[in-house]
Amino acid sequence: METKMKIRKLGKNGPEVSALGLGCMGMSYSYGQPGDKKEMISLLRMAVERGVTFFDTAEVYGPFINEELLGEALAPLRKQVVIATKFGFKLDPAGGPKWIGLDSHPKHIREVAEASLKRLRTDVIDLFYQHRVDPNIPMEDVAGAVKDLISEGKVRFFGLSEASVKSIRQAHAVLEVSALQSEYSLWWREPEVEILPTVEELGIGFVPFSPLGRGFLTGKIDENTTFDANDFRANLPRFTPEALKANQVLVELLKGIAVRKNSTPAQIALAWLLAQKPWIVPIPGTKKLERLDENLGAVAVELTADDLREITETSSKIKIQGGRYPENLQKMTGK
């Protein structure tokens, strides 16, 4: 059954996008072997056919190859889509797939924008996120640099990723922030404490990445799952066999509700997120058409007030085992 896609607005004055976007990182980077380029181009175009209008990438994914993939796939459909990309990492000048720190100097922001425009084969970046807050550069300078790019017509909207309330307010005072992208799902609910109330107050949209807990909430991963050496989940505390086993209780909750709703655990997890606020736009990623279709089916899942209460209350009593990130990555979030 084909799902009729719904539209949501990111931020008070931000772009209108499909209620579910597509996170594209895993097609090129981080989740095991990259997808076959021809297949990924086909998948991206099929997503547009199915009503997806919001695509998420970054220069650091690869680096560069994910933006190039989107550029090639979406150039013929450019007027139909909203493309988000990111700046803020310092890449190894010797090349190779690694970043060596943060860099949000205004000069660097401009360099990234110019390079991303070329790779994306476009004359404007719809949504330009600071990928991680750079503690060495005042947020006012970062917002000012993006403001200049907007006034030149090279960027349409400004976003932040994994930023603290303080950073969000500092940036928003200089340039309206249209979207904040941070991890949020039934197994990472920290944004509910301070972040969601702040973005609601300021009229900023919220884009949850890893809305399916990096695949865990689909019910397809358990303690016997092994991860490819170039799958970054192999290094996450939450994906050790012990943690995966302990955390299955959350998946069992989703499975029970999925049976009642004639849907899947992934669809329940996404429908729960969509039901939290009308300005939340999750961006699940995939390399497979059947997973894309499954995820998009979440838009049609109707969760009643009782369903939502049951999911929220029961899941909040489950103590999730294992840290979200290793220490070196966790240090870069919430600044």
- Give the global pTM: 0.97
Does 163 score more than 70 pLDDT?
yes
Q: Following DSSP, what letter does each residue of 279-323 receive, concatenated?
A: TB----B-S-HHHHHHHHGGGG----HHHHHHHHHHHHTS---S-
pLDDT score for 332: 85
Confidence of residue 325 (pLDDT cuts 50, 70, 90): confident
Residue ranges per domain, the chain?
A: 7-330
pLDDT score for 327: 85
As a whole number, the mean pLDDT across the chain is: 95
Does 1 score more than 60 pLDDT?
no
pLDDT score for 93: 82
The residue ranges of DSSP E strands in the chain, in sequence order, are: 7-9, 16-18, 22-23, 54-56, 82-87, 89-91, 99-102, 125-130, 155-161, 177-183, 205-209
Does 3 score more than 80 pLDDT?
no
pLDDT score for 331: 87
Residues above pLDDT 70, as percent of the chain: 99
Confidence of residue 98 (pLDDT cuts 50, 70, 90): confident
CA 150/CA 133 separation, integer angstroms: 20
- Kindly state the average pLDDT of the residues 150-157: 98
pLDDT score for 96: 66
The CATH superfamily assigned to 7-330 is NADP-dependent oxidoreductase domain (3.20.20.100)
- For the question of residue 325 being annotated catalytic, the response is no
- Kindly state the average pLDDT of the residues 30-55: 96
- Which residue is catalytic, options 29, 61, 129, 184? 61
Tens-digit pLDDT profile for residues 173-203: 999 999 999 999 999 999 999 999 999 999 9
